[in-house]
Structure 1
Amino acid sequence: MRAKQRKRKKWLWGITGGFTLLLLFVGIYGYSLYHNVKQTANRIHEPIKRSTPEKRPEPISLEKREPISILLIGVDERKGDRGRSDSLIVVTVNPNKKSIEMVSIPRDTRTKIAGKGMENKINHAYAFGGVDMTLSSVEQFLDIPIDYYIKVNMESFKDIVDAVGGVTVNNPFAFTYEGVTFPKGEITLDGEKALKYSRMRYADPRGDFGRQDRQKQIIEAIIKKGASFGSLANYDEILAAIGKNLKTNMTFEQMKDIQANYKDARQQIEQLHINGKGTKMNGTDYFIVPEEERLAISNKLKEHLEIHTAS
């Protein structure tokens, strides 16, 4: 039962994480909205121990429009149990290239856990050491700095999709899931249908990779809602949902700087994929990423972040 509940919740982190990105890339209209956004930003602010990323020797300058990276962490936390990170997506934002790149890290990826001196599933880093250890492990795995994080508690997020008036996605193939038929082509989803659209895996020929792409589709769709965000009459409901379910190390001032200097990056969004294969070791399932694949993804992200790579 618990495994089934986790599957139902996995899609939700992307919805709210995407909406937080939307807040970063759209304008803030009117004093009332500005005031409420500021209150929400202060409510969700949760700093981390380190002052700068381990892979970045000097602090990032948002005013100089230096490319940044954001880690979206979807967690299933319960009372008395920190839980694990069920979803990890790295988002790199380059305002100079006017582009965003997103890559999902499969939760079963076997890698070294920072600070533990051992290899394990990357999603276990959160159980061992929370956000700080997760950031360090992802930085170590991809060899890039992670400047900011957005942590989403995967509970009750479908209301956000409904609050923004639904999302529109381009479905690559027709399928039916839990009594709902999703035709091929452009479709508009409310919160309940978005849940089912993002949950489906076994009918997808690409399995979990296909599901990850549908999660990222919804993030992109919510970001594109930014163009009309100022005219939404129920923004207070959206902000209330965000305030209850998100945490981030971004301050309100940083959000404003990103909104002012990075919003053009939403013009082009590219989805990257990490290839590998599943295997069982000592009775545990792992996802093994070949070293050449890890390096290829790392170099692609470094190029987008304008970080020089060794020749």
Structure 2
Amino acid sequence: MTGKKGRKKWPRVLALVFILMIVSACAYAFYVYNSLTSAVDTMQEPIQREKSEKREETITLKEREPFSVLMLGVDERQGDKGRSDTMIVLTVNPDLKSVKMLSIPRDTRTDIIGHGTEDKINHAYAFGDVEMAIDTVEDFLDIPIDYYIKMNMAGFKDIVDAVNGIDVTNETDFNMGKFHFNEGSIHLNGSEALSYVRMRKNDPNGDFGRQQRQRQVIQGVINKGASFSSLTRFDDIFAALGKNVKTDITFNEMMDIQKNYKDTRNNIQQLTIEGDGQYFGDIWYLIVPDEERQRVQGELKDHLGLPQ
């Protein structure tokens, strides 16, 4: 009789364990959700800016429309908001399942919209914050900038460390600060990644080599952050993002991007824009020829589904 009673109890015990597993999973998911929403709230920094003249209608992410993002890497200093040391434009097309990533050389000479001067494009942020940077990039590339993401470069190492480091393929053997970077496949922690993207004086390709390394690191963070192994480190990742990143992309828009555009991250195509160095007075600028600018404009417009 005892054996029969014991056998009858087993289904109840298994059912109880199953229920407890479900409850635990739900509690964990709720904890992750709360941590994410808290980080996004900290990251939120809407900007005061009129609707872009480069786009006739506001895009709707729920309808899987192509969109663009301006990424600003800013070296912030105490008492000084700094300059946008890095300017990268991303265009995202879910139908083509691709992202195009363009690094704009920081020394590029162009009109600074709203300031009435010609200057290095990275000065736009120093003159008029995110709004002036967006207006200037829109004018330079002749495309709408739908969103922005601003990253504190000094804190960028926290984000790399939060995903437990990244792997990149280094094309140039070099030293930067206290670090030595071998040619070939290398693993970078946060401090190493920051030095890796900052080096340019000893690069035979100058600022273009530096842009290539920036794109490598960004893509490495995206790939590592989206991997299953990073789920166990979500708390560190959210904390690093909340502390070092500002954006006008809302939580709901982030959820729409995750749902409707997730296939695009596996096909990131890197674009370059080239020019010639020239001195104005004693200041060196990169001068981009009109035909080169129009070539890049056309490629980005095509990817966004905009008329040429």
Report the Cα distance in structure 2 between the residues aligned to 1:308 and 1:271, rounded to whole angstroms: 22
SS in 1 for 2:261: helix
Provide closer, same or farther for how the CA distance between residues 74 and 179 of structure 1 changes in structure 2, counting only shifts above 3 A.
closer
Task: Output aligned runs, 1:208-223, within 5 Å.
Answer: 208-223=207-222
Name the counterpart of 2:171.
172
Tell me the distance in 1 between the aligned counterparts of 2:240 and 2:84: 20
Q: How does 1:175-186 map to 2 (within 5 A)?
A: 175-178=174-177, 180-186=179-185
| TM superposition shift of 1:157 | 2.4
209-218 vs 40-49, greater mean Cα deviation: 40-49
> After superposition, where does 1:300-311 map in structure 2 within 5 Å?
300-309=299-308
1:90 equivalent in structure 2? 89
Would the aligned equivalents of 1:93 and 1:99 in 2 still touch at CA under 8 Å?
A: yes
Structure 1 regions of 5+ residues with no counterpart? 1-28
Contact kept, 8 Å, 2:153 with 2:194, in 1: the verdict is: no
Q: How many residues align?
A: 281
Find out whether 1:158 has 2:135 as its counterpart. Answer: no
**Higher Rg of the two aligned structures:** 2
Q: 2: CA distance between counterparts of 1:235 and 1:51?
A: 35
Paired position in structure 1 for 2:265: 266
Question: Could you tell me the TM-score, scaled by structure 2's length?
Answer: 0.86
What is aligned with 1:205? 204
Rate the CA distance shift 1:184–1:84 in 2: closer, same or farther, 3 A.
Answer: closer
Say what the alpha-carbon RMSD is for the aligned residues.
Answer: 1.8
The whole-number CA distance in structure 2 between the counterparts of 1:83 and 1:160 is 20
SS in 1 for 2:202: coil
Trace 1:183-262 onto structure 2 (pairs within 5 A).
Answer: 183-229=182-228, 231-262=230-261
- The separation in 2 between residues aligned to 1:256 and 1:157, in whole angstroms, is 23
Structure 2 distance, partners of 1:107, 1:53, is 23
Q: Greater CA deviation, 71-80 or 146-155?
A: 71-80
Residue 293 of structure 1 is matched in structure 2 by 292
CA offset at residue 176 of structure 1? 4.1
- Quick one: percent identity of the two aligned structures? 55
What secondary structure, in the 3-state scheme, does the structure 2 residue paired with 1:63 have? helix
Q: Secondary structure at the match of 1:256?
A: helix
Mark the CA change 1:277 to 1:144 in structure 2 (over 3 Å): closer, same or farther.
same
The answer to which of 126-135 and 157-166 deviates more is 157-166
CA distance in 1, matches of 2:250, 2:244: 16
Consecutive unaligned residues of structure 2, counting only runs of 5 or more, are 1-27
Q: Relative to structure 2, which stretch is displaced further, 284-293 or 113-122? A: 113-122
Aligned partner of 2:16 in structure 1 is none
Q: Which is worse superposed, 223-232 or 210-219?
A: 223-232
SS in 2 for 1:280: strand
The alpha-carbon distance between structure 1 residues 96 and 77, as it changes in their structure 2 partners (threshold 3 A), is same
In structure 1, the residue corresponding to 2:148 is in which secondary structure? strand
- 8 Å Cα contact 1:52/1:147 also seen in 2: no
Q: Which has the higher contact order (CA 8 A, sep 6+)?
A: 1
